[in-house]
Amino acid sequence: GESVGLHLPTLSVQEGDNSIINCAYSNSASDYFIWYKQESGKGPQFIIDIRSNMDKRQGQRVTVLLNKTVKHLSLQIAATQPGDSAVYFCAENTGFQKLVFGTGTRLLVSP
């Protein structure tokens, strides 16, 4: 079946660096993706989303890139801060917020 998966389980960066978290998907018909941040003991929190008619979308310190040719998306976090430490999930919205999540990447930010 369709799956959304992540390349790296853990990413360690220094405070102030830029972070890039990658995600691959398998269904070429997928057209709506969302990045979530999950801190320990909390539920996932929406960060940014992107539809397939776009290849880039920017938010505050975050940018999502979508490459439909290779079925890959990435989340870029600029000037990473200790508060960014969390697990990040990409998810496909298959319709009406029925989400298919990937496994997750743990981001560790050291001062």
Partner 1 sequence: DTGVSQNPRHKITKRGQNVTFRCDPISEHNRLYWYRQTLGQGPEFLTYFQNEAQLEKSRLLSDRFSAERPKGSFSTLEIQRTEQGDSAMYLCASSLARQDAEAFFGQGTRLTVV
**Cβ 85 to partner 1, closest distance in Å?**
16
Report the b/e string of 99-109 with b at 16+ CB within 10 A.
bbbbebbebeb
Neighbours of 26 (CB within 10 A): 12
Is 16:83 a contact under the CB 8 Å cutoff?
no
Instruction: Return the number of the residue (45 or 81) whose C-beta is nearest partner 1.
Output: 45
Helix and strand numbers, DSSP H then E, in the chain: 0, 11
- Can you give the binding site for partner 1, defined by CB under 8 A? 4, 32, 41-46, 49, 89, 91, 95-104
Amino acid at 27: N
**Cβ 109 to partner 1, closest distance in Å?**
20
**Cβ 59 to partner 1, closest distance in Å?**
13
Instruction: Return the number of the residue (17 or 27) whose C-beta is nearest partner 1.
Output: 27
Instruction: Return the number of the residue (36 or 77) whose C-beta is nearest partner 1.
Output: 36
